[in-house]
Copies of this chain bind each other. A is one copy, B any other.
Amino acid sequence: MQAYTAISGSRLPTAAAIAMKGAAAMPHRSDAMTAKPVGVARVLGKGEEVFAEGDAAEFFYKVVSGTVRTYKLLNDGRRQIDAFHLAGDIFGLETGEEHRFSADAVDAAKIVAFRRRRFETLAHDDPELGDQVMSSMMRSLERAHDHMMLLGRKTAQEKVASFLLDMSRRVSKGDRFDLPMQRTDIADHLGLTIETVSRTLTQFAREGLIKLAAASRSVVLCDKDALRRLNA
């Protein structure tokens, strides 16, 4: 609710450039949302802010290395992390005039900023980045929607299983990987508490579905099928 009220009444973010069909079909009018390689890399320390909710969305970003989280806060501090962005991911792309999330570094990270501009210009100047931007937006939507299902209707076990499989797919080629974020972040992403996340992971480990090690950041998925079954 907060967000609607925040914007309501003032201006409607002008035309945003979202294609209805693939990268070829692109918007159009005025200052839309995308891109131009500004290309200075920026190094972020752990926890360093990239932008805050409500900031003018002048740039969007691509993760070079490390991990960035985007999130919203409730006035009493409750946090919902909508996504973790890993190397290669684009984040901070808005259809409106301001950022609807805050973003900061989960760990030491490196990002590149792009000045936002009309998508067609971007697509023309740098077709490859244009494609990346498009598919990034599509994935973002898709993920947001799947995540609603997870948050609204899945159990703690299912949430954690989903999360592990997702991270595995994204960060590892095999079944072993390191989680870049801590329990608090996982909890705020899955709509759980850190204790529940921890207990669930421990339980998975006891049951032989996973192995944990090294400050519990390192994970091995031993029984992906069982996890997938849990994933509902």
Residues of A near any B CB (own CB < 8 A): 1-4, 7-16, 18-22, 24-29, 60, 72, 74-76, 78-80, 82, 93-96, 100-101, 116-123, 130-131, 133-135, 137-138, 140-142, 144-149, 151-154, 162, 165-166, 169, 188, 190-191, 228, 231-232
Contact = CB atoms under 8 A, between A and B. Distances in A.
Contacts of A232: 2, 74-76, 78
Contacts of A191: 151-153
B146 A96 contact: no
Contacts of A123: 27-29
A201 to B, nearest CB: 18
Contact of A80 (B79, B121, B148, B162): B148
A75 to B, nearest CB: 7
Contacts of A74: 149, 153-154, 232
Contacts of A75: 232
A160 B116 CA distance: 37
A80 B154 CA distance: 10
A118 B148 contact: no
B1 A231 contact: yes
Given A14-B25, A78-B153, A1 B165 contact: yes
Nearest to A163: B1
Which of A1, A72, A101 has the most B CB atoms < 10 Å from its CB?
A: A1
A119 B27 contact: yes
